[in-house]
Structure 1
Amino acid sequence: MDITLTVAKLSESDTIMKFIQELYEHEDIRFDESIANTALSQLLEDDSLGYVWLIYGDGEAIGYLVLTFGYSLEFGGRDGLIDELYIREEYRRAGIGTKVLEFVTEFCNSLGIKAIHLVVERKNNTAHSLYHKMGFEDCDRDIMTKWIRS
């Protein structure tokens, strides 16, 4: 299968939103379309925040990748967060995730990004296996979140 990634455009928001909803259902994450759509639009309109790519397999959109940017003294400067990576179920375990992670690693390296982080559910053994194979390490830390609502 021929895999390509293209930087998503605002006009492709509907396609990405369908993938976001599928991912959130799969991961049992609360989906609020209004919140997700606003955040997606901001990201698509400002590449200083990060990038969204659509993943194509043989010309058909089969998933998406979101990379956002941060900065960390501990990690030596600018860093990236793979905020979301989704490949439709029927295309999983075919090497596509590996190709996507290789792509994002090369992209980050070209920008001088020092480290790439991601968050994965503890129970998702398949994803853990892939991420370890691709060089991601457990940092012996937990991600903690405080929601700030205005």
Structure 2
Amino acid sequence: MNMLHLAGQDDRAVLLALVEKFHAWGNLQTTADDRAAAIDLLFSGDVQAAAWLIGPRRAPVGYVAVSFGFSIELGGRDAFLDEFFIRESVRGRGMGSQALMTLVPMLRDMGVKALHMEVDHDNPKAMKLYQRAGFKARSEYFLMTRTL
């Protein structure tokens, strides 16, 4: 079974439902309109980003969204793992690890030199998953954000 399926416009409804579940689980303060607008922009071709559904195409158990950028320091194209979600009912079965292990070589083949992400300090299970997948904290840096 192919673990990841690139989401397209035909997957809008299922992706939107998964995003809603993730935002509710993570207590992210977004509205239905905000989420729909973001998904529409993702599929518009106006941004350098992609989302993959995780698991069986007919009944995905999660998704991963990645945005693409550039880093002189890191040697070229980089990416940010924006959102990564596996339904709570199927967590702990290795699907998250498998999804990451499938995603990383795909991104490498796309010329990505580094993959960044952020993780909640209060989520040790996620931290362990990401560390096993090769992510390391850059202790001399921390992510700063200004919303516009």
When normalised by structure 2's length, the TM-score is: 0.91
Residue 91 of structure 2 is aligned to residue 92 of structure 1: yes
Shift of 1:37: 1.3
Identity of aligned residues (%): 27
SS at structure 1 position matched to 2:41: helix
The residue type equivalent to 1:144 in the other structure is M
Deviates further, 9-18 or 112-121: 9-18
Partner of 1:60: 59
**Cα deviations across residues 25-76 of structure 1 (Å, max 9, x unaligned)?**
1111102221221121121232861211111248521111111101111211
Shift of 1:3: 5.5
- Does the CA contact (< 8 Å) of 1:6 and 1:54 recur in 2? yes
Alpha-carbon distance between aligned partners in 2 of 1:58 and 1:14, rounded to the nearest angstrom: 13
Alpha-carbon distance between aligned partners in 2 of 1:79 and 1:130, rounded to the nearest angstrom: 21
* Structure 1 vs Structure 2 CA RMSD: 1.7
Alpha-carbon distance between aligned partners in 2 of 1:134 and 1:62, rounded to the nearest angstrom: 19
- Does the CA contact (< 8 Å) of 1:44 and 1:52 recur in 2? no
Partner of 2:146: 146
Structure 2 counterparts to residues 35-54 of structure 1, below 5 A: 35-46=34-45, 49-54=48-53
Alpha-carbon distance between aligned partners in 2 of 1:47 and 1:60, rounded to the nearest angstrom: 28
- Does the CA contact (< 8 Å) of 1:78 and 1:115 recur in 2? yes
- Does the CA contact (< 8 Å) of 2:20 and 2:35 recur in 1? no
Partner of 1:14: 13
- Does the CA contact (< 8 Å) of 2:41 and 2:47 recur in 1? no
Task: Say which structure is richer in strand.
Answer: 1
Partner of 1:106: 105
Structure 2: runs of 5 or more not aligned: none
When normalised by structure 1's length, the TM-score is: 0.90
